[in-house]
Amino acid sequence: MSLLSLDRLTVLRGGCPVVDGVSFEIGAGEVVGLIGPNGAGKTTLMRGALGLLAASGGSTLAALPARDRAHAAAWLPQAREIAWPVTVETLVALGRSPYLAGGRKLSDADRAAVARALKQMGLADFARRDATALSGGEQARVLIARVLAQETPLIVADEPVAGLDPAHQFSLMRVFSSLAACGTSVLVSLHDLGLAARHCTRLVMIHRGQLVADGSPREVLTPQKLRDVFQVSGRWDGDAFHVTDALEDVA
């Protein structure tokens, strides 16, 4: 079953293609890592695929009406915004808003989904805390819990591990893996290639807006692609992948 299908998706900014004819498909139960250097077009690709940016070419999600799309995919933007000092529980419950017909309150099923999401992110004890008073990493986990509470077949997350400590990075990736085991898919942009190699079932590598590789981590993270796209060398060590050196001064 296809959860997202992109057909030559192209996003222009000032006449230049920031995302240039990208096609791929995501089926059920996948953790797809979106990798690429800074400015490769990862965020733009995700927003275009969701229909949050004007794009040409096809995206099955962008074609949906707003409410249906919110039932099909949840979006975690990179900017972590919590505008008002609401409780963690209230914030996570916003993930249920696509299911509430005008003016209706949260049902027991909605509350259960919120409680599950809080538990998955280890936030059960934080439910009544003021979300804006938490640390940056804790706020990031609250916002991820909001996305989980939406309980969509597909989760699109833009650098969700940024700002998390190593234990929480691993535990988040394991949450994604366990969701995938139940049929949910995740499209996640990552900068940590080791984390991507270890936890993703598949990697999509983009460079200057174009798709350059799509396949298993071993197929994508080859010495040549690492050199051409990231200007680094790396080494596979059993199932683990390590970036070993920067090949030239990228700065």
Partner 1 sequence: MALADGTSQDFSVARDVRGLAVTFGLLGLVIAGFVVSLITGPSSLSVGAGLSALFVDTGGPETVVMREIRLPRAVLGAFVGAALGLSGAAMQGLLRNPLAEPGLIGVSATAALGAVIALQTGIAAAFALALPAFALIGAGVAVSLLLLLAGPRGSSLVLILAGIAISALAAAGTSLVLNLSPNPFAVAEIMFWLMGSLADRSWTHVWLAAPLILVGGVVLLLTGRGLDALTLGEDAAEALGVRIGRLRLMVVTGTALAVGAATAVTGAIGFVGLVVPHILRPLVGAVPSRLLPASALGGAAMVLFADAAAQGLLPDRDLKLGVLTAFIGAPVFLHLIFRTRRAGL
Binding site for partner 1 (CB under 8 A): 47, 50, 52, 66-67, 69-70, 73-77, 79, 81-87, 89-91, 94-95, 97-98, 100, 102-103, 106, 111-112, 114-115, 118-119, 124, 127-128, 143, 146, 150
CB 3 to partner 1: min, Å: 15
Minimum distance, C-beta of residue 135 to partner 1, in the bound complex (Å) = 14
Question: In angstroms, what is the minimal distance from the CB of 197 to partner 1?
Answer: 28
CB 4 within 8 Å of CB 61: yes
Task: Give the nearer residue to partner 1 in terms of CB position, either 14 or 103.
Answer: 103
- Compare residues 188 and 196 and give the one whose CB is closer to partner 1: 188
What Rg do the C-alpha atoms of the chain give, in angstroms? 18
Nearer to partner 1, 61 or 196 (CB): 61
Going by C-beta distance under 8 Å and a sequence separation of 6 or more, which residues neighbour residue 220? 35, 203, 204, 205, 213, 214
Q: Which is nearer to partner 1, 62 or 196 (CB)?
A: 62
The least distance separating partner 1 from the CB of residue 105, rounded to whole angstroms, comes to 9
Q: Are strands 2-13 and 202-207 parallel, antiparallel or unpaired?
A: unpaired
Beta strands in the chain (DSSP E): 2-13, 16-27, 31-35, 56-59, 73-76, 154-158, 185-189, 202-207, 210-215, 232-237, 240-246
Neighbouring-strand partners of residue 222: none
